[in-house]
């Protein structure tokens, strides 16, 4: 892969904005001594004192990652008093944007918005990645999680997870499940189901989720383990049958659909989590400042409602929570990729 470099800016707060509650709390936790490579003046300068950007390793135009990042940016604007812009870097399953984030100067002025597929699945699919998800980034905060949901063609005589399993066992390879490609969230969710149940199903990759949903509606495929954002409107309209949300809590978008945990399959939990990262070597004070701002946003009821409307469960927490999740997910996804035989194609 050849990284594409271009400059785009995300303007954020001036030093006066640090007087706001969330940022002020984070500033009070800053260390008294400058980080390596910084002068005392640089370390003590208000952040930010020039434009900042958030890199989103996905195209603009309304996809899940882009939509959620823009909600976050808008909420940040309300608290920081300045515009917050998004730098979309789509391509190579998020690797182009992630590489740009890893190579950015560790000064707090470039923030990476990334997710499970790029940072947890990527290392198993791309053995020659030009960045290391654990060594090249400072985890900042776990933003939230969008769960997968099992949906089936409405013409099938299936209305529950138990019936789905019975149908699959009685008809080996009769169920074709669609995804957005090898190693995608939808693919690995299906592989997780297969590994837990021994069901024999056929994986059908598509270039886009919309193509898969179209074939699900027509009956060309029988099931999808889609992200809830990609199929909620069809489920609400009765065009497909939602069977179970692959999570341990119900989704506000489909509150009447039970979770796999409720249905006796707590191991069948899968989704796409989103997090904020900074380049390795950034001043720890800046990690705390941005973490505090993010947690303030995620705790705000109005902001939480905006995220939940898009199918995301807001999470938050300290940087260690995201670091631990990333480490565990890299191992988990490597196992699923190996079991599935998925390859980067």
pLDDT, residue 77, reads 83
pLDDT, residue 182, reads 87
DSSP labels, 4-43: ------B----GGGGGSHHHHHHHHT--SSPPTT--HHHH
In whole angstroms, what is the distance from residue 39 CA to residue 33 CA?
Answer: 9
Provide the whole-model pTM.
0.81
- Whether 184 maps to a domain, the answer reads yes
- Whether 293 maps to a domain, the answer reads yes
- Whether 57 maps to a domain, the answer reads yes
Of 196, 270, 264, which is closest to residue 226 (Cα–Cα)? 270
Q: Note whether 57 and 127 are same-domain residues.
A: yes
Which residue is it, tokens 């898969």?
212
- Whether 226 maps to a domain, the answer reads yes
pLDDT, residue 34, reads 38
Give the CA-trace dihedral at 22, 24, 30, 36, to 10 degrees: 90
Q: Note whether 135 and 180 are same-domain residues.
A: no
Q: Note whether 116 and 54 are same-domain residues.
A: yes
Positions in the chain whose pLDDT score sits under 50: 1-43
Read off the CATH number of the domain in which 187 is found.
Answer: 3.40.190.10
Q: Note whether 85 and 177 are same-domain residues.
A: no
Read off the CATH number of the domain in which 285 is found.
Answer: 3.40.190.150
Q: Note whether 209 and 161 are same-domain residues.
A: yes
Question: Of 245, 261, 291, which one is at a domain's C-terminal end?
Answer: 245
- Whether 158 maps to a domain, the answer reads yes
Q: Which residues contact 333 (CB under 8 A, 6 or more apart)?
A: 116, 120, 121, 124, 188
Q: Are 333 and 115 in contact (CB under 8 A)?
A: no
Which residue is it, tokens 């699945």?
121
Q: Note whether 121 and 32 are same-domain residues.
A: yes
Q: Note whether 65 and 160 are same-domain residues.
A: no
Q: Note whether 25 and 126 are same-domain residues.
A: yes
- Whether 54 maps to a domain, the answer reads yes
The total domain count for the chain is 2
pLDDT in tens, 291-335: 999 999 999 999 999 999 999 999 999 999 999 999 999 999 999
Q: Note whether 49 and 198 are same-domain residues.
A: no
- Whether 262 maps to a domain, the answer reads no
Q: Which residues contact 262 (CB under 8 A, 6 or more apart)?
A: none
Q: Are 333 and 120 in contact (CB under 8 A)?
A: yes
Interaxial angle between packed helices 21-28 and 64-80, expressed in degrees from 0 to 180 and rounded to the nearest 10: 80
Of 46, 52, 53, 54, which is closest to residue 14 (Cα–Cα)? 46
Q: Note whether 89 and 112 are same-domain residues.
A: yes
pLDDT in tens, 173-197: 999 999 988 889 999 999 999 999 9
Question: Of 229, 245, 261, which one is at a domain's C-terminal end?
Answer: 245
Question: Of 191, 226, 245, which one is at a domain's C-terminal end?
Answer: 245
pLDDT, residue 45, reads 57
Q: Are 325 and 303 in contact (CB under 8 A)?
A: no
Structural domain that includes position 155: 147-245
- Whether 142 maps to a domain, the answer reads yes
Q: Note whether 222 and 156 are same-domain residues.
A: yes
pLDDT, residue 305, reads 95
Q: Note whether 122 and 201 are same-domain residues.
A: no
């Amino acid at each position: 892969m050849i990284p594409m470099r271009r400059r785009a800016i995300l303007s954020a707060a001036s030093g006066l904005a640090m007087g706001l509650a969330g940022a002020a709390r984070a500033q009070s936790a800053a260390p008294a001594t400058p980080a390596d490579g910084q002068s005392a003046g640089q370390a003590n300068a208000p952040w930010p004192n020039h434009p900042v950007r958030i890199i989103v390793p996905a195209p603009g135009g309304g996809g899940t990652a882009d939509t959620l990042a823009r909600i976050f940016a808008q909420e940040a604007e309300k608290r920081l008093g300045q515009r917050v812009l998004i730098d979309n870097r789509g391509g190579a399953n998020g690797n182009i944007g992630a590489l740009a984030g890893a190579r950015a100067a560790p000064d707090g002025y470039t923030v990476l918005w990334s997710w499970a597929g790029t940072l947890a699945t990527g290392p198993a699919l791309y053995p020659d990645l030009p960045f290391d998800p654990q060594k090249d980034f400072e985890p900042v905060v776990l933003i939230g999680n969008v769960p997968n949901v099992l949906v089936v063609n409405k013409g099938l005589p299936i209305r529950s997870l138990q019936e789905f399993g019975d149908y699959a066992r009685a008809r080996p390879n009769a169920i074709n499940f669609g995804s957005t490609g090898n190693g995608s969230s939808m693919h690995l969710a299906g592989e997780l189901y297969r590994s837990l149940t021994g069901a024999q199903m056929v994986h059908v990759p598509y270039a886009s989720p919309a193509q898969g949903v179209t074939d699900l509606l027509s009956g060309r495929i029988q099931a999808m383990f889609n992200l809830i954002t990609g199929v909620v409107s069809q489920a609400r309209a009765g065009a497909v049958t939602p069977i179970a949300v692959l999570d341990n809590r119900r989704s506000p978008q489909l509150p009447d659909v039970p979770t796999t945990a409720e249905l006796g399959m707590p191991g069948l939990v899968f989704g796409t989590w989103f997090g904020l990262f900074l380049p390795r070597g950034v001043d720890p004070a800046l990690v705390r400042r941005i973490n505090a701002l993010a947690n303030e946003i995620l705790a705000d009821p109005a902001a939480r409602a905006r995220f939940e409307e898009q199918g995301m469960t807001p999470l938050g927490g300290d940087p260690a929570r995201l670091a631990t999740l990333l480490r565990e997910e890299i191992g988990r996804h490597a196992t699923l990729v190996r079991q599935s035989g998925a390859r980067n194609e």
